[in-house]
Chains A and B, each alone.
Chain A
């Protein structure tokens, strides 16, 4: 039996983990299990005051349980890849491990009052997006699909928390949009 694993680093609130587990990963038709993850201080870059997602993925590969089909990590830290200023998430395309960052999904990051509903909605969409990459999906031209490329939060807010029919057809166990 293979499982979809979800793991949160210590600073991540339980509510966000539950949303990813129940509203995102549960849709892929594979049983979901939780995994405890350590803090990602090892990936901290002092020059950029951010966390590099590449060593995080390397560590996740070591951590992934043998019965884990895929492993999606959730962190509250702000992630980057060397060539870009930031990333909302990073996953191996068609691979085993991925990570999403909650740092830029919060309204507070942009100087706005907190909004729990908006934050959790974005979290679920990003989790669907990176898990989609783990299952080999590339970006979708349909702006409403979870697989559409988002480089800012308004673009995430435009998306539905679900896949378009074309992307859903390429995934195991998802039931299309919604």
Chain B
């Protein structure tokens, strides 16, 4: 790690310069020397040094402080250590004020220099690691990684780029597995909030009270078990973006609380008296038709309009079949790297199997299918037989409308088939069909369907 960091030692006394440089080289650093401030600036203009040791007193009209200021102008991130044989409180204060990282007196204790350099290098290594990870994270969610040649998807990506820079709330609708979170992350990492947190919350995963404390946090003693004050996801995402997945599943009470946050940008922690203000961009997502939920009285219309400032509807995979080969090959390439398997391609037969399948789980299911096929496949090409598990799931390969069928007949058979699949469970069937229970009872009666 050390050799990556270059050090420049600046001192007009050659023996000082060379002895410090030699000592640092023994420690494994790449070290150059400069005999004056001007010499140092010339070297700094051509090479990016991480650490500068600059002597305070140098002749030629450019002392250590002046040299340091010029270097900082060129490289604001450089760490500069002022060294001097004539230490005074005044020079130390000036040096620190002008941005010196440290001020040391010659001759220096070897331990002091060693600790100082290793401390600076440790921070620089962490800064670099952080920058790499940030880059990796934002690269992971580049638009280029959303693979599609579908015109509707292209329109969505264009919209994503347009709205990234705004603070407006976005509502993403789409079936499970269509990539709603991917789109949300793409918006966040393309916005000026990219350096701030992106916090994802699944509203369906938690019970009402838990979700409330998860979103808004709680004060110590707010409820049994609240031993400490805890910040909620809204506070954690301050300055950044909060992604509320499955927003359609939240309770009426939470809908009111959320409406207040969207309107006022402030809230109270559970059991708290103090108002908490946040600057958060909200991106919500749902797999249910929220407009229908509003019509059914399950979702507050005022909250819906607040959320639905910018609406993005992601089409299911079966409506963009042209993307299947593209996505399958994309996952193949990605997974070959991750799984360390030498699989290069998918055969025509394999692609046909994928094209014929109806993908209820959308892109996520496709990725899982490719991974499963890669794990079990023996050759370098995924063939039809590698995807044979798709047909065995009992799911239809493709569905076509039977000729001369009326809408009412279709509705009747859809209800009958769903009831059969759920074992006559009304609540579950109503959820699957996307209607409420009273509507289902009414239709059962109208079509005379036996449970």
Is A51 positioned at the interface, with any CB of B under 8 Å from its CB?
Answer: no
One of A16-24, A80-88, A112-120, A158-166 contacting the partner: A80-88
In the complex, per-residue mask of B3-19: 1 if CB is within 8 Å of any chain A CB, else 0: 00000000001011001
Q: For residues 10 through 68 of chain B, which have their beta carbon under 8 Å from a beta carbon of chain A?
A: 13, 15-16, 19-20, 22-23, 25-28
- Tell which of B2, B106, B110 has the most Cβ of chain A within 10 Å: B110
**A151 touching B27 in the complex, CB below 8 Å, given contacts A82-B15, A82-B16, A93-B22:** no
B108: chain A residues at CB < 8 Å are 83-85
Is B264 positioned at the interface, with any CB of A under 8 Å from its CB?
Answer: no
- Tell which of B2, B19, B111 has the most Cβ of chain A within 10 Å: B19
In the complex, per-residue mask of B99-141: 1 if CB is within 8 Å of any chain A CB, else 0: 0000000111111011000000000000000000000000000
Is the pair B114, A149 in contact by a Cβ cutoff of 8 Å? yes
Is the pair A139, B19 in contact by a Cβ cutoff of 8 Å? no
Is the pair A151, B106 in contact by a Cβ cutoff of 8 Å? no
A151 to B23, CA, bound (A): 12
Is the pair A93, B107 in contact by a Cβ cutoff of 8 Å? no
B107: chain A residues at CB < 8 Å are 48, 80, 82-85
A133 to B107, CA, bound (A): 23
Q: For residues 228 through 245 of chain B, which have their beta carbon under 8 Å from a beta carbon of chain A?
A: none
Candidates A48, A54, A149; contact of B19 at CB < 8 Å:
A54
A82: chain B residues at CB < 8 Å are 13, 15-16, 19, 106-107
Closest chain-B Cβ to A126's Cβ sits at a distance in Å of 13
Candidates B16, B25, B110, B114; contact of A138 at CB < 8 Å:
B25
Is A152 positioned at the interface, with any CB of B under 8 Å from its CB?
Answer: yes
A80 to B16, CA, bound (A): 12
B110: chain A residues at CB < 8 Å are 84-87, 151
A91: chain B residues at CB < 8 Å are 26
**A83 touching B25 in the complex, CB below 8 Å, given contacts A151-B111, A152-B111:** no
- Tell which of A48, A86, A151 has the most Cβ of chain B within 10 Å: A151
A91 to B108, CA, bound (A): 19
B20: chain A residues at CB < 8 Å are 81, 83-84
Closest chain-B Cβ to A12's Cβ sits at a distance in Å of 23
Is the pair B19, A83 in contact by a Cβ cutoff of 8 Å? yes
B19: chain A residues at CB < 8 Å are 54, 81-84
Is the pair B23, A83 in contact by a Cβ cutoff of 8 Å? yes
Closest chain-A Cβ to B10's Cβ sits at a distance in Å of 12
Is the pair B25, A84 in contact by a Cβ cutoff of 8 Å? no
A83 to B16, CA, bound (A): 5
Is the pair B15, A149 in contact by a Cβ cutoff of 8 Å? no
A139: chain B residues at CB < 8 Å are 26-28
A81: chain B residues at CB < 8 Å are 19-20, 22-23
A87: chain B residues at CB < 8 Å are 23, 110
B15: chain A residues at CB < 8 Å are 54, 82
A85: chain B residues at CB < 8 Å are 107-110
A151: chain B residues at CB < 8 Å are 109-111, 114
A83 to B11, CA, bound (A): 11
Is the pair A93, B16 in contact by a Cβ cutoff of 8 Å? no
B106: chain A residues at CB < 8 Å are 82-83
A84: chain B residues at CB < 8 Å are 19-20, 23, 107-110, 113
B13: chain A residues at CB < 8 Å are 82
**A138 touching B23 in the complex, CB below 8 Å, given contacts A87-B110, A151-B114:** no
**Nearest neighbor of A50 in chain B, beta-carbon distance:** B107
A138 to B22, CA, bound (A): 11
Closest chain-A Cβ to B434's Cβ sits at a distance in Å of 62
B16: chain A residues at CB < 8 Å are 82-83
A94 to B228, CA, bound (A): 59
Closest chain-B Cβ to A103's Cβ sits at a distance in Å of 15
**A93 touching B111 in the complex, CB below 8 Å, given contacts A54-B15, A83-B20, A84-B19:** no
**A138 touching B113 in the complex, CB below 8 Å, given contacts A81-B19, A82-B15, A82-B16:** no
A9 to B22, CA, bound (A): 24
**Nearest neighbor of B21 in chain A, beta-carbon distance:** A83
A86: chain B residues at CB < 8 Å are 110
In the complex, per-residue mask of A72-112: 1 if CB is within 8 Å of any chain B CB, else 0: 00000000111111110001010000000000000000000
Q: For residues 126 through 159 of chain A, which have their beta carbon under 8 Å from a beta carbon of chain B?
A: 133, 138-139, 149, 151-152
Closest chain-A Cβ to B361's Cβ sits at a distance in Å of 48
Closest chain-A Cβ to B79's Cβ sits at a distance in Å of 18
Is the pair B28, A138 in contact by a Cβ cutoff of 8 Å? yes
Is the pair A93, B25 in contact by a Cβ cutoff of 8 Å? yes
Is the pair B111, A138 in contact by a Cβ cutoff of 8 Å? no
Could you give 29 example pairs across A and B, Cβ below 8 Å?
A48-B107, A54-B15, A81-B23, A82-B16, A82-B106, A83-B16, A83-B23, A83-B106, A83-B107, A84-B19, A84-B23, A84-B107, A84-B108, A84-B109, A84-B110, A84-B113, A85-B107, A85-B109, A85-B110, A86-B110, A91-B26, A93-B22, A138-B25, A138-B26, A139-B28, A149-B26, A151-B110, A151-B111, A151-B114
Chain B positions within 8 Å of A, measured between CB atoms, are 2, 13, 15-16, 19-20, 22-23, 25-28, 83, 106-111, 113-114
Q: Which 9 A-B pairs have the closest CB atoms?
A: A151-B111, A81-B19, A138-B28, A151-B110, A83-B20, A85-B107, A139-B27, A83-B19, A82-B15
